[in-house]
Structure 1
Amino acid sequence: MTATTSQHSSTEAADTPDERALIARCRRGDAAAWDELFERYYDPVGRFVFQYSPAFTREDVEEITQEVFLAIVRNIDSFRGNSAFQTWTFRIAINKARDFIQHKSAAKRGKGMEHVPLDVSNPNNGTPLEIPSPASGPDEALISKEEMVMLRQAVDRLSDPCREIIELRYFGDLSYEELAATLNLNPKTVSSRLSKCLDRLEEIARPLFAGEKTRPFSV
């Protein structure tokens, strides 16, 4: 169940002048700017939500993502630029995904293995989110999903600081510099905390995976 990621994210630690200008226009109520912001950030947020839980259906992802953008509209004035805007949206997405899971019925969670669709689309333009299809066969895909369900259970049992840093690092693909800025930590502390949190995650996940000793993530 090893899932590794690169040391550096493809996103930058700070917003570009163009992004800052776009956010400023949104704050002034520029409708065209809001349209541009949705086009720019909808897919990254949708992919983040999709990866957050293997139990989410297409409809779940769309509902949660739309809730994220409603929160962005209502709270954009509270964005201070201490982290990249996309990072700020990911933190909102984490909260909305958690809220959704908490309110989801126990009956639906107990239905067992369900198909997870890979054709989630952006409702603003109808284009599909760029979520890669699995290369494995049906049996391997089911095993992979089962492992992801157990991994999600393990992550949910972490303390809030550990859960947040792991979700932002591995689901949001934030770099160490972005994590440091977002969590108000220095990079060395980020590395140390992430390592300790991965150790704790391994302790929790090992019984769920019947003694498997491979870390679910690599630093």
Structure 2
Amino acid sequence: MGNKELHAMYSIDDIDIEKLDKETVMEKLMELYTEKVYLLAYSFVKDRSLAEDISQEVFLKVFKYLDSFRAEATLKSWIYRITVNTSKDFLKKRSLKQLLLENSWLENVKGTESTETAFLTANRYEELLQAILALPMKYRVVIVLYYFYDVKINEISSVIELNTNTVKTRLSRGRELLRRRIVAKEGEVL
């Protein structure tokens, strides 16, 4: 069963952690959120294997603390908060200079486009991705959660434990930094 079929069967709100056994809840959460947790961790560490390690650690923490989940936030927000905090903890332990960006997001550029069109599309996407990943962490996390995960501002506020006005400001400033970088990049002569 694919992720779309699972989403059709279960939404995160349909998972009643009080009525289902812990293993069933974890299985559903992992099926719904493994890829999202991995990509969120990747946006922090910029390395596939490290993001996988962080993802595993996140789900271990979710399993360990699931019984103490108080439903003050949604399960989704809670999982994202654990991912953000685990990623931040990891970054504190490792030097950012040791982390390398891999071009894994572009490996699966497929379709009916011509090779030239596919290359140009992939190149634009790579430039945008590079610009996002080059943002300071406080802007990057807000941009990634808002645009890649469609997390609402109030949920982002809960995930990163800042007030909503600060989130809005960081989102606005992050967009402006991205715009400037992209305009500056397009102005360069190749």
| 1:195 shift after superposition | 1.4
* Aligned twin of 1:130: none
Distance in 2 (CA, whole Å) between partners of 1:60 and 1:160 is: 17
- Aligned identity (percent) is 23
Query: For residues 10-46 of structure 1, what are the alpha-carbon distances to aligned partners after superposition, in whole Å with 9 as ceiling and x for unaligned?
Result: xxxxx74x43x32x578xx732332233233335445
Q: 2:108 aligns with which of 114, 117, 122?
A: 117
List aligned pairs for 1:136-215, cutoff 5 A.
136-182=113-159, 183-186=161-164, 188-207=165-184, 209-211=185-187
Does residue 90 of the first structure (1) align with residue 80 of the second (2)?
Answer: yes
Aligned counterparts of 1:113 and 1:197: Cα–Cα separation in 2: 24
Once the two structures are superposed, residues 129-148 of structure 1 have per-residue CA deviations (whole angstroms, 9 ceiling, x without a partner) of xxxx6564333232233333
Q: How many residue pairs were aligned?
A: 171
Kindly state the Cα deviation for residue 189 of structure 1 after the two structures are TM-superposed. 4.6
Structure 1 or 2: more helix by fraction: 2
Question: 1:33 and 1:190, CA in 2 relative to 1: closer, same or farther beyond 3 A?
Answer: closer
- Is the alpha carbon distance of 1:135 and 1:56 closer, same or farther for their aligned partners in structure 2, counting shifts above 3 Å? farther
Question: What's 1:39 paired with?
Answer: 31
Tell me the equivalent position of 1:10.
none
Partner of 2:8: none
Change (3 A) 1:83 1:203: farther
Judged with a 3 Å threshold, the aligned counterparts in structure 2 of structure 1 residues 30 and 190 are, in CA distance, closer, same or farther, namely: closer
Structure 2: unaligned runs, 5 residues or longer? 1-11
User: Is there any run of 5+ residues in structure 1 with no aligned partner, and where?
Assistant: 1-14, 119-132, 213-219
Q: Is the 8 A contact 1:168 1:174 kept in 2?
A: yes
Superposition RMSD in Å = 4.4
| Structure 1 residues 40 and 155: alpha-carbon distance in aligned structure 2, compared to 1, 3 A threshold | closer
Alignment map for 1:24-103 (pairs within 5 Å): 24=18, 30-45=22-37, 48=39, 52=43, 65-76=55-66, 81-93=71-83, 96=87
> Counterparts of 2:83 and 2:119 in 1: how far apart (Å)?
26
Deviation at 1:171, TM superposition (A): 1.5
Task: Give the deviation of 1:165 after TM superposition.
Answer: 0.8
CA contact (8 A) 1:82 1:181 kept: no
Change (3 A) 1:165 1:143: same
